[in-house]
Structure 1
Amino acid sequence: MNKYKKILLGIVLIGLAFMAVFAYTVYDTFFTSNTNFTEGTYEVLIPTGADYNTAFLAMADAVEDRDELHKTAQRKGYIKNVKAGRFIIEPGMSNNDIINAVRSRNIPLNVRFNNQERIEDLAGRIASQIEPDSLTLLEVMQDKTFLEENGFTKENALTMYLPNQYEFYWNSSPEAFRKRMLASWKSFWNESRLAKAKELGLTPQQVTSLAAIVHKETAKNDERPTVAGVYINRLKSGIKLDADPTVIYSKKLEDSDFNQVIKRVLYKDLTIDNKFNTYKYTGVPPGPIVTPDLKAIDAVLNYKKHDYYYFVADIDNFGYHDFSKTLSEHNRKADRYRRWISSQNVNR
């Protein structure tokens, strides 16, 4: 009898030892740290439609033991349940933590943009921050049916995209991005702003296009309402805006080169036959020459009422402008400015 008890006890002890080894192995595989970095975080981007191999490679460089990570993925059924998105691996994470993170913790990011001169530029800027490529984004952003249904044209489509910081999932679709931007545009154009635009006799798109000129003319927020007032005065009087930034934009369009830097507008540039050129055509351009910031839009809506019709860069107060009520007064100040800029050897 004692013999059988000893055998049974031995079997139990072996079983317990095996269970202990198994438990340790499982614990070591699942719950001990497997990251190969101690500071910061590791961003894992898993594309839409990715298979397990693609997902595994996206996170593999962050771990010490790839085999153990793979075993954990198998045991937790992740191999057949890959999710697209942006995931974060933190220092000290175990295999279990990592697989849980990439399976269910899609982390949004902040998408930012400003100073985009064309919708093509905006598409490229957005594509550098979220998954869709620029061509796909551009196709959706320029969709004719969408634009017509929401009161936009191909030329003023850029007005819908208000520079700001927006939270998106990295794997957001182009349609989701566009939908969010339209909602933000509608939210910005509340009853108060719409009423002010109507009082000016302008649509929100025209206000934004005019604000783009103001934005380009001056970076000084305290001066923008005054600059806006000049353009409003000229519009009300039926005078061409004669805005140099629109000439620069027209020159870039004519040359098909938006990378060129133009510091000085030449007389010959004023004759460029393009609807964006306000030296050639009366009224607000058919679209914006840049994505104006929100303060520039509000500067137009809340323009300063005055009798100025002209302005030129103030060489005594850099960054600001010298305003005039009459053309003769303006010409004297403009001549002074031209002599100064010529002395600086700025030819283009």
Structure 2
Amino acid sequence: MPKPHFSLKRALIFLVMTLLLLSLAAVGAGVAWLRMPLSLPADKVDFVIDEGTTMRGIAHQMREAGIAVPPDALVAYARLTGVDRRIKAGGYEVARGESLWTLLKRLSRGDVTQREITIIEGWNFRQIRAALRRHPDVRQTLEGVDDATVAAMIGASTSHPEGLFFPDTYLFAVGSSDIDILRRAYRAQQRELAEIWEQRDAELPLGSPYEALILASIVEKETGMEADRRRIAGVFVNRLRVGMPLQTDPAVIYGLGEVFDGNLRRRDLRADTPWNTYTRRGLPPTPIANPGRASLLAAVQPEKHKYLYFVSRGDGTSAFSETLERHNRYVARYQLGRGKANPPSPAQPSPQAESSTQAEAVQP
């Protein structure tokens, strides 16, 4: 009986050694094949590996991108060497002349291809969505998805996503989805807002960080010169304190939506919408744009003064006044006095519309 047992043991050892030698031979052959230049349809090819994709799925995505690789051989090699357990998700780029060996090392390191997109201070959400749609390296997933659903997808507590995205330049891997970029911008805005809210003036007539965000969005749209930012915020804070309508034209324009043709008319100021700060007192129900850090800080740390009015001088700066009488003189000088042959109507402010440029501004 012992001899058969001994023979069986030797046979098993022989089988294992044979398989090991065959595996090593396969690896050696594979290394030579892996170092051959890849066949590509262009000088550079991008492809995306989604989270959780199997090695066979990765091989399929590479072939779909035009990278000529034999899937079975690639999968076998990756499993044998353990490469399949180290590959990281993201967007990658392969250039003509590179080998699969080089590419696999890049996939293992997670050297994703970086692209960037910039959200501009003062953009509204419609403009952000348009920029995401135009970017050739952003994977589109929000076609036909309404704003309320987008707000839910990013985890917002409000159904209106306006103002929730921090203006900044965001780097991303080729093939990242539009909703992933929005989630990052949303989290960045939440961090900024939470930090800045802690720095607010103790006497600020705002009840929540969201109200500060609304005011900051107005300040963002109203400011033509950085030096005026906190002073403009102070005007709106003073109006909130005494119960005056904010009378800010950018909010009216926002309420008009896509029907606004660039020409704000007197009838627009009288057409009631939730964002018409001529017909309704207090803050509008939502932000009207996406404010940057400077406007957020101005909203919670406004300049302390007695001004209730301001009007554009036409050079980016504003003229401030405490009384309606003086304000009307500034309107006549800086607004009505321009181009005497065809002076603009008071109800037709410049594109960077200023608060209470109208001669009919309400007194406290």
Q: TM-score, normalised by structure 1?
A: 0.71
Q: Could you say which residue in structure 2 is the equivalent of 1:221? A: 226
Q: Kindly indicate whether the alpha-carbon contact (under 8 Å) linking 1:189 and 1:204 is maintained by their aligned counterparts in 2.
A: yes
Q: Kindly indicate whether the alpha-carbon contact (under 8 Å) linking 1:123 and 1:137 is maintained by their aligned counterparts in 2.
A: no
* 2:255 partner SS: helix
Identify unmatched segments of 5+ residues in structure 2. Answer: 1-25, 349-364
Q: Kindly indicate whether the alpha-carbon contact (under 8 Å) linking 2:192 and 2:293 is maintained by their aligned counterparts in 1.
A: no
* 2:230 partner SS: helix
Q: 1:71-96, CA deviations, whole angstroms, 9 ceiling, x for partnerless residues?
A: 86355348x96975301325642121
* 2:200 partner SS: helix
Q: Kindly indicate whether the alpha-carbon contact (under 8 Å) linking 1:249 and 1:276 is maintained by their aligned counterparts in 2.
A: yes
Q: Could you say which residue in structure 1 is the equivalent of 2:74? A: 73
Q: Kindly indicate whether the alpha-carbon contact (under 8 Å) linking 2:201 and 2:301 is maintained by their aligned counterparts in 1.
A: no
Instruction: Determine whether 1:208 maps to 2:213.
Output: yes
* 1:43 partner SS: strand
Change (3 A) 1:193 1:145: closer
Q: Distance in 2 between matches of 1:295 and 1:239?
A: 25
* 2:227 partner SS: coil
Q: Could you say which residue in structure 2 is the equivalent of 1:31? A: 35
Change (3 A) 1:167 1:277: same
Q: 1:340 deviation in Å?
A: 1.0
Q: Distance in 2 between matches of 1:197 and 1:287?
A: 22
Q: Distance in 1 between matches of 2:100 and 2:247?
A: 64
Choose which of 239, 245, 249 in structure 2 pairs with 1:244: 249
Q: Could you say which residue in structure 2 is the equivalent of 1:43? A: 46
Q: Distance in 1 between matches of 2:269 and 2:211?
A: 22
Q: 1:138 deviation in Å?
A: 4.5
Q: Kindly indicate whether the alpha-carbon contact (under 8 Å) linking 1:140 and 1:175 is maintained by their aligned counterparts in 2.
A: no
Listed as ranges, the matches of 1:125-274 within 5 Å are 125-126=131-132, 128=135, 130-135=138-143, 138=147, 140-143=149-152, 146-147=155-156, 152-155=157-160, 157-168=161-172, 180-181=184-185, 183-190=187-194, 193-194=197-198, 196=200, 199-202=203-206, 203-252=208-257, 256-257=258-259, 262=262, 264-274=263-273
Q: Could you say which residue in structure 2 is the equivalent of 1:3? A: none
The letter of the residue matching 1:301 is: V
The letter of the residue matching 1:291 is: N
Choose which of 315, 326, 329 in structure 2 pairs with 1:329: 326
* 1:153 partner SS: coil
Tell me the matched-pair count: 306
Q: Could you say which residue in structure 2 is the equivalent of 1:16? A: none
Change (3 A) 1:144 1:37: closer
Change (3 A) 1:130 1:290: same
Choose which of 57, 65, 69 in structure 1 pairs with 2:64: 57
Q: Kindly indicate whether the alpha-carbon contact (under 8 Å) linking 2:205 and 2:240 is maintained by their aligned counterparts in 1.
A: no
Change (3 A) 1:340 1:85: same
Instruction: Determine whether 1:113 maps to 2:110.
Output: no
Instruction: Determine whether 1:340 maps to 2:338.
Output: yes
Instruction: Determine whether 1:89 maps to 2:94.
Output: yes
Q: 1:234 deviation in Å?
A: 0.8
More off after superposition, 51-60 vs 306-315? 51-60
Q: Distance in 1 between matches of 2:47 and 2:27?
A: 30
Q: 1:194 deviation in Å?
A: 3.2
Q: Distance in 2 between matches of 1:175 and 1:342?
A: 50
Instruction: Determine whether 1:287 maps to 2:294.
Output: no
Change (3 A) 1:197 1:58: farther
Q: 1:102 deviation in Å?
A: 4.4
Q: Distance in 2 between matches of 1:283 and 1:296?
A: 19
Q: 1:98 deviation in Å?
A: 2.1
Q: Could you say which residue in structure 2 is the equivalent of 1:122? A: 128
CA RMSD of aligned residues (A): 4.0
Change (3 A) 1:37 1:275: same
Q: Kindly indicate whether the alpha-carbon contact (under 8 Å) linking 2:92 and 2:173 is maintained by their aligned counterparts in 1.
A: no
Q: 1:94-149, CA deviations, whole angstroms, 9 ceiling, x for partnerless residues?
A: 121124434662626545323465445434544646435124595653229954xx
Q: 1:338 deviation in Å?
A: 2.5
Q: Distance in 1 between matches of 2:50 and 2:195?
A: 40
Q: TM-score, normalised by structure 2?
A: 0.68
Q: 1:278 deviation in Å?
A: 0.7
Identity %: 22
